[in-house]
Chains A and B, each alone.
Chain A
Amino acid sequence: MYQYDSYDQKMVDARVAEFRDQVNRRLAGEIAEDQFKPLRLKNGLYLQLHAYMLRVAIPYGTLNGAQMRMLGDIADKYDRGYGHFTTRQNIQYNWIKLEQAPDLLADLASVEMHAIQTSGNCIRNTTADHFAGAAADELVDPRPYAELLRQWSTFHPEFDYLPRKFKIAIIGSETDRAAMKLHDIGIQLVTNDAGEVGCKFYVGGGMGRTPMIAPVIGDFVPPLQMISYLEACLRVYNRYGRRDNKYKARIKILVHEIGADEYRRQVEEEFAHILTLGLEPPPAELERIKGFFEQPGFDAAASDDLDLSDPDFAVWVKQNVHAHKQTGYAIATIALKPVGGIPGDATADQIRLMADLARDYSFDELRVTHAQNIVLPHVKKADLYTVWQKLDEAGLANANLDLISDIIACPGLDYCSLANARSIPVAQKISERFADLGRQQELGELKLKISGCINACGHHHAGHIGILGVDRKGVENYQLLFGGSEGADTSLGTITGPGFSEDGIVDAIEKATNVYLDQRADGERFLDTYRRIGMAPFKEAIYAKEPANG
């Protein structure tokens, strides 16, 4: 894992000092709320429905045991004993006091963490494949590039007041586990026939009000020109992105309005100029960073055998464990999705337990996934059973990864001041309705995603089943979408028709899954069946009038 040197440390320390000064000026009445608000937002401090909410950056979703433990300690010391892991691989605390926020940031800085640029119209925390450095199908480890990106984007003076927020994701394998094409910029590290690495740039994707899938803008940018290419992409956006209407200010709108070809032409022109300026960190810097991401000291003799005689363990392995590049090792995902629980929430004790497991069994490494789960990336197969037992004791051995109850849900109206409807209670009811694990396994991979408003923080456009909360004359109402996906086969969901009440939506989903069970061909997932047979049979089932004596 990357470790700060004195330069990196100075930067986060300077930020803590700056924010402390800003908070003091606010509390002393020297600056008014309308001036202070953008400053606190630049540090991830929102004022939410019940209190201040702080979003802490977890750069490319990677953290070590000490950092994870600190996240748990912070939950106890400054919050109410829990935290919420988000789809952007960050963690949010819901009950932070403004007067304590500077101390909290100082605690974070002591473990090389921060809340820099976790809000505001700037370059946000870069996300990445949560299996980076471990996945069997990886071509190029994206983490060194993500770290290069982190440093470049931190306090970038030109791009701190963009037309709108800016989100970058980076991956290095064929399988896209980071919803890369639904970001402002998605970078896929690829190799050519000569074995050289290149960056494939997808620009102009996004969710929100107007979801769009990013087109390819740069085919094969040399990695040692990645920063220059980003400067060009951002500069064209900063100069021409719309400022008159915040709903049309994202880069996806610019790329869409002028067309991918024209945008590419302008980027190329700017890129040619920027290459003359020497803005790119030297090869030695990339090499230095790569040095931090060497393979951990795997035991080459580790056995690939796994004793699956405990049936509960076997189920968990089947669902939550993925292939590792190293024989004898595996990637274990901890699903933060108990039946009836709050997706992505973990208590301080659970967070600390995961930190301990990482230290003892995963070379001190953890990842946060955009599906609001936690990954132990390098577990020796021989240790898996012990890890599972410890998780089970802490209520963390949910064997439902990628099943219908592994729901992504935004905070919704329970916490979020922008919400139209609550998301979490819907997630709870669905997971309770489908509580039986056998039934979930029968339904197979089914990605269900819920947002409490059109901002789409819960990725509802990209759910095989998506749910969008709307406000119908002051009453919560839920629209249903089918057919969304993220990854290699990215697609956007289609709304089924009129919305449902909270209970109605759960019934509708059950009916839709019955249509799938009825109609599926061999090996088809819910999404595949939907793509083959279309909306009509689903619509018919979910809007059918109940017989009077039902």
Chain B
Amino acid sequence: MSLLKISNLNAFYDNSQVLFNLNINITEGKIIALLGRNGAGKSSTFKAITGMIQVKSGSIFLKEKNLTDMPTNKRALAGIGYVPEDRQVFPEHSVEENIDLGKKLNSDIKNSWGKDKIWETFPVLYNLKKRIAGRLSGGEQQMLSIARTLVGNPSILLLDEPSEGLAPKIIEDITKILLNLKKTGATILLAEQNMHFCMNIAQEAIIIDKGKNVWEGNINKLKKDKKTRDKYLAV
């Protein structure tokens, strides 16, 4: 069944439009790659879903909840989990304090992610839990940002280029974590510039270009469809 449904969305940075009649429909329990070139509008799509940029028309529904006019924090309480592309950990808070900030004390979402489970899933973070987040490596910060969002038990995870700028070994670790999440039936929208990192994780893909969705389907189909890839994804 449909978990997140974006219909005919037009979104703006002040007066410049970035999303044009965008339509996205995400089924519960699926991992979907949101692909597109540099500047295609992937991050802007996430910012529209979280309420960080202005939506002038169209709608965003999470199940039956209409998020379109909600403030950002209410959307998070409703179940939107956002991991931004630049990670945005709180640099002067310790690892553990960062994770605690992600807890939602005043929501009725069911609590499947306790801190024990976070430490189990991210043993690296457990070993660093007293360290100031500003002194973590890029990969550790990425994991922390994901863990901080997970501890709030989101019903959908918006991951913005989690592999960006990371060493292959770290990317492997993050892939493993995402594959584990997949097994638990998590719903994830995974933004990436190319399909390489998503290949083993996502089942389906949506391509956006110049703020519009231009293609969607099975990710294996996309793998064989060189023409589409060349048109929308090649650098």
A and B: interacting chains: no
Which A positions have Cβ atoms within 8 angstroms of B?
Answer: none
